[in-house]
Amino acid sequence: MVLATALSALAVSPMSPAAARSGVEAPAAPEPVRDLDTIVVSGVVPGPGLWKVGRDGHVLWVLGTLSPLPKKMEWEARDVEQVIAQAQEVMLAPSVSIKADVGFFRGLALAPRLVGARKNPDGKRLRELVPAANYARWQVLKERYIGRDRGVESWRPMFAALKLYEEAVEDTGLRIDDSVSDRVEALAGEHGVTLSKPGVEVVIEDPKQAITEFKQGRIDDLACFDRTLDRLETDLAFMRDRANAWAVGDVEGLRALPYTDQFEACRDAARNIQALRSRAGDLPSQVHAQWLGEAERALSNNAVTLALLPMRELLSSDGLAAELRARGYSVQAPGEYEEEAPAMAGDYGEASPAAAD
């Protein structure tokens, strides 16, 4: 459902506190890494160290996630598996999901309504909706990363921008996927650890009407379009640097790199789509509150918990890690806490820089 694409942009990544009993093995802090310039890491990599959130002898280990990441890297999840093996719960990153309460045959009847839902109302094309200067920038980037696809010219600016972003990332030696989350989920299953998926589920009880409103309604998405162009023109090298820094565990490198993010503008556009807002309310606030509640529950009930959170929530001064600290939890970045035991045996091997595709 196209509405789900818009909603997926609203998943706020709050940070989760969890519990760890005293004496639990702490993951080893990663070594500082060399400047990899504009090349992209490949091979086996350790990823970043874990943040430690705790209070009253309970600990939540938090892995900061990032997207995009190097296309040819293989994440060695040794330290994360070490924690999962001792944990009572693994919390995936928070999300927003859509459920349309329809039967199978009614769902098939609705399918034709979804065809073209990304398109602009009244058959308008991008050149009619975006400022001329931005359309000229779009043409240059589209030719470079998408090619001659004419269909995208009829899409709403937000969806055209997301398509352009995905194609550019792919061409830069990076990838947008959930491989880290998938690996963590698999490890939780292997060790028989409870898996929780904090987030908000939106039930669309009138999908036919919702789709009609979505297709006919206007989306205030020009800022999303503009900032996506900005990011692709100025931030691709930094995007590689951030991906490399995550892969080899250079947290200070991640802190130092500038971060241009078009997704806040895209989230604003999505959250204000009337077809969604009238049915779901203020989703970012709901996700934020729901995650914090789940995190504090985990911290209270578990001795050890592992959680996933987007890296921005750990590094920014107003992120969820900062909010947990304000609530009285101890929050320590990799290298700030004292190792309580050696890391599990085994070597990461060599991460090697490889030319971007």
226, with CB counted inside 10 A (0-12, 13-18, 19+), is buried
Model confidence pLDDT, tens digit, residues 235-294: 888 888 999 999 999 999 998 887 666 667 787 777 767 677 777 777 778 888 888 899
Cα distance between residue 254 and residue 232, in whole Å: 19
Q: Which residue has the higher pLDDT, 9 or 123?
A: 123
When pLDDT is cut at 50, 70 and 90, the band that residue 33 belongs to is very low
Domain segments of the chain: what residues? Answer: 2-354
Q: Where are the beta strands (DSSP E) in the chain?
A: 40-45, 51-55, 58-65, 69-70, 73-75, 89-91, 95-100, 174-175, 194-196, 199-204, 304-310, 330-332, 351-354
When pLDDT is cut at 50, 70 and 90, the band that residue 107 belongs to is very low
281: alpha, beta or left? (left if phi > 0; alpha if psi -120 to 50): left
190, with CB counted inside 10 A (0-12, 13-18, 19+), is exposed
Question: Does the pLDDT of residue 73 top 60, yes or no?
Answer: yes
Model confidence pLDDT, tens digit, residues 128-184: 999 999 999 999 999 999 998 889 999 989 889 999 999 999 998 899 888 999 999
- Identify the pLDDT of residue 349: 42
- Identify the pLDDT of residue 262: 65
Whole-angstrom CA distances from 4 to 92, 128, 269, 276, 291 are 19, 26, 14, 10, 20
Cα distance between residue 119 and residue 125, in whole Å: 9
Report yes or no: 12 and 94 within 8 Å, Cβ to Cβ.
yes
Report yes or no: 306 and 93 within 8 Å, Cβ to Cβ.
no
Q: Write out the DSSP string of 139-177.
A: HHHHHHHT-S--GGGGB-HHHHHHHHHHHHHHHTTEE--
Cα distance between residue 2 and residue 163, in whole Å: 13
When pLDDT is cut at 50, 70 and 90, the band that residue 25 belongs to is very low
How many residues are given for the chain?
A: 357
CA 45 vs. chain centroid, Å, equals 20
Model confidence pLDDT, tens digit, residues 211-230: 777 777 778 889 999 999 99
pTM confidence score: 0.78
